[in-house]
Amino acid sequence: MQDLTLTLSPGGKAKLVTRYPGYTRTAAGVPVRPQGEIGTWTRGQRGTVVVSFTNIGDFVDGLIEKARPDNTQYTFKLTGCVLAPAHRDPIARPPTFHKAGCS
């Protein structure tokens, strides 16, 4: 199971944090750490939001540690409180996000 949190900040900054609840170590004994991706977001056409990630790495104390390049881009459609993939992509399979505190 994964717990994903996408933050789209004013000014166009984007951050995606993936946590793995209940997992502290891999089968090989390596600690399991949250993963963070950082990048930018912009408003696209027809009510879409384009999120582009440029760096990925271990997410420790609110920062990306041991960052390495990332070149991932997702296009979402905002409908009410839901940010859902704008296009079906069987390979990338981007998740659907629900806005916190929104009903």
Supply the pLDDT for residue 18.
93
Residue identified by tokens 């399991």 is 32
Where residue 77 falls (left for φ over 0; alpha for ψ -120 to 50; beta otherwise) is beta
What is the residue whose two structure tokens read 């998740």?
Answer: 95
Q: Read off the pLDDT band of 91 (50, 70, 90).
A: low
Cβ neighbours of residue 50 closer than 8 Å, sequence gap 6 or more? 41, 42, 43, 44, 73, 74, 75, 76
Element (H, E) at 64: strand 63-79
- pLDDT tens digits, residue range 43-76? 988 889 999 999 999 998 888 898 999 998 989 9
Of 19 and 87, the one with more pLDDT: 19
> pTM of the prediction?
0.83
How far is C-alpha 40 from the geometric centre of its chain's CA atoms?
Answer: 11
